[in-house]
Chain A
């Protein structure tokens, strides 16, 4: 048995899985834990939508993003009866969480998440707090819209109440999107720095300075006294800084390991949460939605007992 499969919660080596079986089969997610995942994600998806549309302007024609290239989405800033749209979205998300008509019930959240998010990011300033949630919404929506599975025939019930494998696939897609978001972020760092990102880590002190002072100018709360210490440490011990922040880069680049199995997902999810908490502390940059998504899909709190059971139901 390989180390990877043993740690992934398995008794058989990974290649023994049939090619038709998705990696998610190794997670053997049960109905209850997926219900909790959907409930928690529904709450995250609702709060990730920037409902304060009144503060938005028309899209900047030179800075259009996503569907704004093809459709005029300026109307989102003048949404009338927004309370009704919020209620519709909440009702939809509750039905989705119950696992009923998920493609239809996810649609309002998907519509507002992408519509408002696109307008907000077409103002001339791109913010990266909600893309992950919107991409997961899109991924899950597509899984439920095309609920194909090799083990069952397509019928009306496939859309009304998707089978367990389809629900598992929706969670699998969420994990894939989550992992890919981190891998691509790591890759972008290497690509844009011509592979010299770790070498240039001491320059990150300037970004620390900027983000901490930005927080001050946002709220007038004093800049943390630790900032000066951290900046000095980075300047005086650049190798230490490279090891510390370089570690973060490797966490991003190897995020695909989450897909090995439940235990990998659990520990890797925790590592990512710790990474975000460190960034939050050092740079005053909070990625709460990323932390919550890691907690919901990777750490999977209601499934912890199952994660650390000696063998799961598949014998893996």
Chain B
């Protein structure tokens, strides 16, 4: 046994880039556990992509980062997390979510987002904003061109 371990040790020491290899295997096994990550960005290239954005009462987009200090991509992930929590227990994928389920997830997102609104930034826009709306939109490839779905209203709240 001692000889075997010694052999393994000798082989390990002769392995080129052994520390990177060990770190790579470790990161791959641990996965997404901060600060560790397997950096899965754009690893699954699906047939569609999606965006989430915020508008005023007349559906004119508002700058999410300026007004809330967070990005639309981050908030879309939060929305999808909420939607998964609603759909997955019913054995359905988020792409099969019903409008009322999207509204439920959107309401949960609005609940979290609303307290972060920077009123002074909103005032500086110089628009008469009386309500906030959250829209969700899907892009798909159709005959070689990208087509966007009709934006889905998932939440609305008066100011």
* Chain A residues within 8 Å of B, Cβ to Cβ: 14-15, 19, 23, 52, 55, 57, 60, 62-63, 65-69, 113-114, 117-118, 121-128, 130-131, 134-135, 137-138, 172, 176-177, 179-185, 187-189, 191-193, 197, 200-201, 203-207, 209-211, 213-214, 216-220, 231, 235-236, 255-256, 259
Contacts and interface: CB of A to CB of B under 8 A. Distances in A.
B124 interface: no
Interface in B67-98: 68-78, 81-82, 85
A214 B34 contact: no
Contacts of A206: 45-49, 139-141, 146
B126 interface: no
Nearest to A217: B53
Contact of A209 (B24, B39, B78, B139): B139
A80 B140 CA distance: 46
A217 B51 contact: yes
Contact of A131 (B37, B46, B116, B144): B37
Interface string B12-46: 01101101110110111000111111111111111
Give the contact-size bracket for chain B: 35 or more
A124 B85 CA distance: 11
B24 A187 contact: yes
A217 B39 CA distance: 25
Given A188-B28, A210-B49, A219-B66, A181 B39 contact: yes
B108 to A, nearest CB: 10
A117 B27 contact: no
Contacts of B40: 185, 188-189, 192
B52 to A, nearest CB: 8
Given A210-B139, A211-B73, A256 B17 contact: yes
23 contacts: A15-B14, A19-B14, A65-B32, A125-B74, A125-B76, A126-B37, A127-B74, A177-B23, A180-B20, A184-B27, A187-B24, A193-B44, A200-B45, A206-B46, A206-B47, A209-B49, A209-B146, A217-B54, A217-B72, A218-B71, A218-B72, A219-B63, A220-B61
A185 B39 contact: yes
B125 to A, nearest CB: 9
A65 B34 contact: yes
A57 to B, nearest CB: 6
B100 interface: no
A189 B38 CA distance: 10
Nearest to B84: A62
Nearest to A14: B16
B111 to A, nearest CB: 10
Interface string B139-159: 111001110000000000000
Contacts of A126: 32, 37, 77
B144 A138 contact: no
A206 B42 CA distance: 11
A66 B36 contact: yes
Contact of B34 (A23, A62, A121): A121
Nearest to B52: A217
B41 A185 contact: yes
Contact of B35 (A66, A125, A184, A189): A66
A279 to B, nearest CB: 9
B82 to A, nearest CB: 7
Contacts of A220: 61-63, 66
A197 B45 contact: yes
B107 interface: no
Contact of A193 (B43, B64, B139): B43
A114 B35 CA distance: 6
B50 interface: yes
Nearest to A55: B69
Given A52-B69, A57-B112, A203-B141, A218 B63 contact: yes
B34 A114 contact: yes
A235 B144 contact: yes
Interface in B89-145: 112, 116, 139-141, 144-145
Contact of A62 (B71, B85, B141): B85
A235 B21 CA distance: 36
A134 B35 contact: yes
A197 B43 contact: yes
Contacts of A135: 35-36
Contacts of B36: 66, 131, 135
Contacts of A259: 17, 19-20
